[in-house]
Amino acid sequence: MKRKVAPHAPDCAPRLLCPELGPVFLAHQNPWFSVMSRGAYYSIEYERPQVAILPVLDGRSIIMVRVKRPLIDDCPLELPAGDSCDGETPRMAAMREFSEETGIRIDDPLRFIPELPLSEMPGRIPVLLSIFRVDVACKEFDARSRHDNDIVSVEALSFAEAACKLVEGEIYLSSPAAIISRLLLQASPGISPREKGL
């Protein structure tokens, strides 16, 4: 069965199509998201497009952030991510969030390349996550400045280190795990083009 996905352009938030599940009533609302009752489903619907950034350092490492997460009493390894502000496109949001969370400023929007989007929680979130890859030079990483206060550290993991942390469970949040796994599979010389789907 072919997945029904709206066309994806870098400056549009990709959406899953579910016209048969029209909103029935608003169950909860706050500044970040609404909870809608859609018949037999309750959905979490963000007020603004959500983005994640895959920063690749010098073609062989991944820049990750450790973020304070009081709800799970941990500081897990994550990719820079967040939501757009009023009037921002997803690409603009990716640029801003990347700068805020890593302290690395990249002013050229064309360096933020859209990747295929992901569904974070298909049973609850009907909107796809926009993902942007940005290639970062070592001198840009070394020149980073202050980052947001909820970021504990900014770390560069080699592809091999990232793979080990995925296997060992240190990278355990679903979106970063999926995004990094896709990158590592694409970069793996042991997978033939046919296996990669090329």
- 55-76 pLDDT, tens per residue? 999 999 999 999 999 999 999 9
List CB contacts of 141: < 8 A, sequence separation 6 or more. Answer: 57, 63, 104, 156
Q: What is the pLDDT of residue 188?
A: 79
Q: What residue type is 64 in one-letter code?
A: M
- 128-151 pLDDT, tens per residue? 899 999 999 999 999 999 999 999
Domains defined along the chain, listed by start: 49-188 (3.90.79.10)
Given a cut of 50, the residues of the chain with pLDDT beneath it are: 1-7, 192-193, 195-198
pTM of the complete model: 0.86
Q: What are the structure tokens assigned to 30, written together? A: 């706050």
Rounded (10°) CA dihedral 63, 8, 44, 30: 80
Q: What is the pLDDT of residue 179?
A: 98
Give the separation between CA 81 and CA 170, rounded to whole angstroms: 18
Rounded (10°) CA dihedral 103, 85, 69, 101: -10
